[in-house]
Amino acid sequence: MVASYLTTGALAVFLGLDRVAVLQCMASRPLVAAPLTGWLLGVPMAGFEVGILLELLWLGRLPVGAVIPPDDTQVAIGATALALTMERLLGLHGMPAVILCVLVAIPLGKVGQYADTRARQANNRLAHLAVAAASAGDSNRIERLHLRGLGHFALAALFTCTGIVAGGTLLLYPLAPLLIGTVSETGLALQYSFTMIGAAVLLGTLNVNRGFFLFGAAFVATLLVIGLR
């Protein structure tokens, strides 16, 4: 488990930097981050399921400009690590266990808003120092300040992931055995609800007229597919 948590922490830092600070190559999206985490931790199916459940929920909430949504990357990584933890500690696995982990990880993702806000505030102070360093012609200090800024985002990502995994474990260890039966009975309905909520969130970000058109077209296409079968 120690090696698994170290791997999770390394992924949290790397993919957290990709989210806003460095590459932004979309590897931080839940649909990529969760399966990658599951593959490295030895629970690829759990990672794939986490990614599918979470991706739609955050398609319309990107960390652009001053907008700071809950950290979807760390929710995906943390939920996958929680799925592994529940399997190791309680022997729970499969979609019901994954749904429980996701439902716990989503509200804990608010930790990411706090950590991201603090990292940006710290980097704002570094920006003033960088201006002073530029006025003095000290390029080496500017480079060091830039690296410190990356470090703030890395620490925010690690703090968020640690909070989700640690807090989720404390909640799920006593509650999961009590709730797993109920989740198993309603598992299919819960899976559909994630999809429907995600679709509603996504439509809410579109032009209203276009959203109605897309929804109607998708509905008709679905009926045609069912009819052809």
Give yes or no for residue 88 having a pLDDT over 70.
Answer: yes
Contact 30, 54 (CB under 8 A): yes
Higher pLDDT, 225 or 155: 155
198's CB contacts (< 8 A; 6+ apart) are 55, 56, 57, 59
pTM: 0.76
Q: pLDDT by residue (tens digit) across 131-171?
A: 888 887 778 887 888 888 888 888 988 999 999 999 999 98
pLDDT above 70: percentage of residues in the chain: 75
For 44-61, what is the mean pLDDT?
Answer: 80
**In this model, does residue 199 exceed pLDDT 70?**
no
Q: What is the mean pLDDT of the chain?
A: 79
- Distance between CA 120 and CA 164 in Å, rounded? 20
Q: Which residues are CB-contacts of 153 (< 8 A; sequence separation ≥ 6)?
A: 16, 17, 20, 21, 116, 119, 123
* Radius of gyration of the chain from its Cα atoms, rounded to whole angstroms: 20
